[in-house]
Structure 1
Amino acid sequence: MSELLTADRIDEIGNLGSKSPDPAALVAELVGAVDEGRVADPDDIGFALLVAADILEQAGDLADALTLATRAVAEQPDDNAYARGVRGGLLLRLGRTDEGMAELTALRPLLETNPKSMYLIDELVESGHGDTAMEWLTGALDAILERTRTQQHESEDAQDEAAAMIYGLAQQRHDLREEQGLPHDEYDNLADRLRAASDHALGALDDGPATLLFWPQAEFTALLLRWPALADSYPATWDEHRAQIERALVEASGLGGADLGVVVGTAAGLAAFAEPTGSDPTSEETLDEYADSLDEAGVTAWPPGRNDTCWCGSGAKYKKCCLPRSRD
């Protein structure tokens, strides 16, 4: 029997994508594993199909990409909003505007309740429906602000979630208007005030530094081989490590954090840092001090633009790599 298809291998294929000399072989590997029941975790079947659909889309085969996205929707009946968003975008790009808009419009309420639903805006913009994207962003802001005015007795958690939603929507709308060359309006001014306030608020955060220590895949492996005791401090796989970093940055941003970023560590660098003082490389204090020492060497700012290269070093676009990990 052929090997099982693991989540790590799906990620690896997704990072290769259209850069592979044979993207068709990657699609065949993914779809073949699904068809033959060789996906290690059944919950990853939809994920595998969406990665295959993305490779086909990058190659210009929108019709077959749509077929796979539709299969992904069927494989995730209880949690298929993202797959439906991808399908809606593909329908738009195939000229099936009524169907595509119907799919995305059904998901539109998520913009008022789920901070991870910005992929709906991406699909609209990439399909040439920037005006509709602007309308939806404005409508979501209107709805959330009205809700905060009329529901004065919401829990503290609900208030924090609403504040994070307002911040994210306002910034996305602001960036989109800048791309379209539109003048500032009331919500743009709000976005500027929120961003300025977040700079001040960052200093008061108690949840950790603005810069997080990230280990590239080879270094993550070397780190745990050299100091096995660190296995208790880090996730089981490198993929989970970068997903954890992405989620932590999203949460810090939602709390008002600004000037966020990552610094890249190396096992050799950590050893060299700890050796002169005899520090324990596996202690949290040493790791924090090592991360601080790297700040001066250069911080990779977070988040990158959706179409920019991902911060994790995969070479893939952020929107196709670590951005979706914050939706898990």
Structure 2
Amino acid sequence: MRPDTPAENVDHTAEAARLERTAGLYPEDAEALLLRAAAHLELSGDRPAATALYDRLLSASDGLENPALIRALKASNLWEYDHEAEARAIIDGIRLTAPRDPAPWVIVAESLESHDELEAAEETFTEAARLLLTDGQEPPASTHPLLYGRHRVRRMRGLPHDAWDTLADTLHTAPVPLDELHDPKRVWSLGSDNPAELAAEISRLRAELGAYREALSRPFPVAVLHWPAPELAELLSAYPPLSSEYPSHETHLATIESSLRELSSSGTGNLGIVTGTVPSYEAFAASEGSSPDDTTLLPQYATTLAARGRAVAWPPQRGAECWCGAGEVYGECHGA
């Protein structure tokens, strides 16, 4: 449940340094960029440096978007290099403050789970579910990892299914059912000393996760640029030559969806949408020493926004609002 967790075939130290430099250039995006940098440092093995980044964020004078998430990530990281007491204190503090965002709950519960504290992990998942899930309403996509994690831990503990486990089964749409995915024998086989068992399980995991791993091999998504209607009107008023790219706002939205579907059908994963603003685009053009009416700048601008962590994943989760901003469910809007 880490934000933009990097893939394995990346030079993590170099990518962390790049993200830190980018954060310096774009302070408004620093929180998201430094969290990604810390994730790379963890994967590089430099956990103390990752902790230093978390502390840097937590000590910032500007307001943080999600301080509970940062504390949860710090606790998880600390526990991995023998700072258990400090990690536990942070976890207790997070549970006490009861954040309304599912991500910190998932991270601390998974940290407990990874250290074989299954009962405490289940309690944490359940506590979060009681706080964040509303009876009679479909859980938002952001809460699905809570239900999946709770299902996994309960399966490991040999507990019978309850209503939330059944709900998790319903929400899970991948080819492999949760009961099989969370089968204790399957999980334990990854720690087996039997080479045949390990080889068989690794083959299964590769088959299930191959496409996902390929998608994550890029440090940021392949992103398509989206202009909200007021921004597009301002853009075309200021730079009429761009009208050839954007005949109308409706055409612009339809082109975004069709382009993403075409990329997806060709096998491209890790797709996203970035939203442009005229001042940001003008600043980008100035930094490139070019004019904003140069159409070749548009894809470069989109790539830069994606590199700054501004991309929203496409397609949206089931039941989520459409990316276009109309306020309708994606499946009844551009996803229809």
Compute the TM-score of the two structures, normalised by the length of structure 1. Answer: 0.48
Tell which has more relative contact order, 1 or 2 (C-alpha 8 A, sep 6+): 2
Compute the TM-score of the two structures, normalised by the length of structure 2. Answer: 0.47
